[in-house]
Amino acid sequence: MATTASNGSTGAPAARAGRSYDVAVLGLGAMGGAAARHLAARGLRVLGLERFGPAHDRGSSHGGSRIIRQSYFEHPDYVPLLLRSYELWEALERDSGADLMTLTGALMLGRPDSRTVAGSRESARRWGLPHEILEPADIRRRFPTFAPRADEVALYEERGGFVRPEAAVAAHLDLARRDGADLRFGEPALDWAVLPGGDGVRVTTAAGRYTAERLVVCPGAWAPEVLAGLGVPLTVERQVQYWFHPRTGTAPFAAERHPVYVWEDAAGVQIYGFPAYEGPEDGVKAAFFRKGVACTPDTLERRVAPEEVEAMAAHLRDRLPDLPGRFLRAATCMYTTTPDEHFVIAVHPEHPQVTVACGFSGHGFKFTPVVGEILADLATAGATAHPIGLFDPRPRRVRPTQHEVTT
């Protein structure tokens, strides 16, 4: 953990350390930034602490795009949250004036009994979501950039697309600051503790100590350390995003022609990808889904080896005939996941003053605004009307919690 810190980029002097707040938010990435925005919008005095700068590229929320979809193969219980999230993405665009969400349609491809297809179909059926099941010939005719095998099908939904992570994080932070949140960047929390008698919490940084009535902890890839006492096993994995320039150019991959997709092969390996959304020279982005290597934020290897590029290229080669084409670049990020791949969103089992949110990576970014709303509910009322039973850490704990968690 870092032991030194600078003052935040908001220009707030170190002398302000010690001020009491209604809610302190540790971590101002996707979820923490959204929580700060929702809390500040409710008129609360909010402190936000972040070890890096705003909308940084050191964690999980960067790379230009994240898929958004409704026919959710991970579990049907996510769908109500997705529907609310879509509403909040649109509201965030209106409130911020930023271009954040683009709907391109989404294809979930694989064998009919694959998790990607069968799970998506189950969610669509249970919640009455508009969708189509396409046979191989239908896929090729409507989306000629794809070359499915004879035993593969696809679920297509019009409401799929992508959101822009860096712009979305920045939009939440800008609105939080507009509504009075004290956001401090380059100032990581060194530790936090519940005050004697449970009367609030204390957060310590290199700049001093702060007190707040409530605490929201959104540590991202630092969760295994920051929330070690939570008792839920968390794994951090290095993931790589790749950009290629198609052999025939980017026009066939334009957003109005080429949908986002998740494609599962017979061995259960999933890849995902996007249209060419930033112009003809930016190329087309693709990546493996959950095929990473264990790491920590301190040991993450950011260099991408040629053999990694070739492994991605080989997987694309016979599925999207115009890819891989020419390799352009790659970028690493981190997934932080639980054993069951579901999120953790809850009031801390041992500390009712503390709300925790972690384990989102792999499929969490699309939920960012609704998670912010949920965290604001939990921090202010201790409960939420949103269905979050799936994310309760208590049935998933493997060891007792500690009284104090050091960050």
122-179 pLDDT, tens digit per residue, is: 999 999 999 999 999 999 999 999 999 999 999 999 999 999 999 999 999 999 999 9
Confidence of residue 398 (pLDDT cuts 50, 70, 90): low
Query: Which residues, listed in sequence order, are joined to residue 71 by a DSSP beta bridge?
Result: none
Average pLDDT (317-345) is 95
Q: Which residue has the higher pLDDT, 401 or 265?
A: 265
- Burial class from Cβ neighbours inside 10 Å (0-12, 13-18, 19+) for residue 279 reads exposed
Query: With 90 as the cut, is the pLDDT of residue 88 above it?
Result: yes
Q: How confident is the model over 258-285, as pLDDT tens digits?
A: 999 999 999 999 999 999 998 777 899 9
Average pLDDT (3-31) is 62
3-class secondary structure, 306: helix
Q: Which helix (H) or strand (E) holds 374?
A: helix 368-381
Q: What ranges make up the beta strands (E) of 17-152?
A: 20-26, 46-50, 66-68, 101-103, 106-110, 132-134
Report the candidate in 266, 265, 272 with the shortest Cα–Cα distance to residue 239: 272
Within 8 A by CB and 6+ apart from 275, the residues are 104, 253, 254, 255, 257, 258, 259, 260, 284
Contact 251, 283 (CB under 8 A): no
| DSSP-derived secondary structure letter, 404 | S
Q: Which helix (H) or strand (E) holds 359?
A: none
Average pLDDT (286-300) is 92
At residue 66, the pLDDT reads 97
Query: With 50 as the cut, is the pLDDT of residue 306 above it?
Result: yes
Query: With 90 as the cut, is the pLDDT of residue 229 above it?
Result: no
At residue 61, the pLDDT reads 92
Confidence of residue 361 (pLDDT cuts 50, 70, 90): confident
At residue 2, the pLDDT reads 30
Average pLDDT (341-358) is 96
Q: Which of 113-117, 227-231, 354-358, 397-401 is predicted least confidently?
A: 397-401
**How far from 14 is each of 88, 283, 380, 407, CA to CA, in Å?**
35, 44, 27, 20
Average pLDDT (343-364) is 95
At residue 9, the pLDDT reads 35
| DSSP-derived secondary structure letter, 197 | G
At residue 281, the pLDDT reads 76
Query: With 50 as the cut, is the pLDDT of residue 234 above it?
Result: yes
Q: How confident is the model over 95-108, as pLDDT tens digits?
A: 999 999 999 999 99
Of all residues in the chain, the percent with pLDDT exceeding 90 is 87
Q: What ranges make up the beta strands (E) of 258-407?
A: 260-264, 270-273, 284-289, 293-294, 326-337, 344-347, 354-358
Within 8 A by CB and 6+ apart from 4, the residues are 206
HSE toward the beta carbon, residue 141, CA cutoff 13 A: 5
At residue 221, the pLDDT reads 96
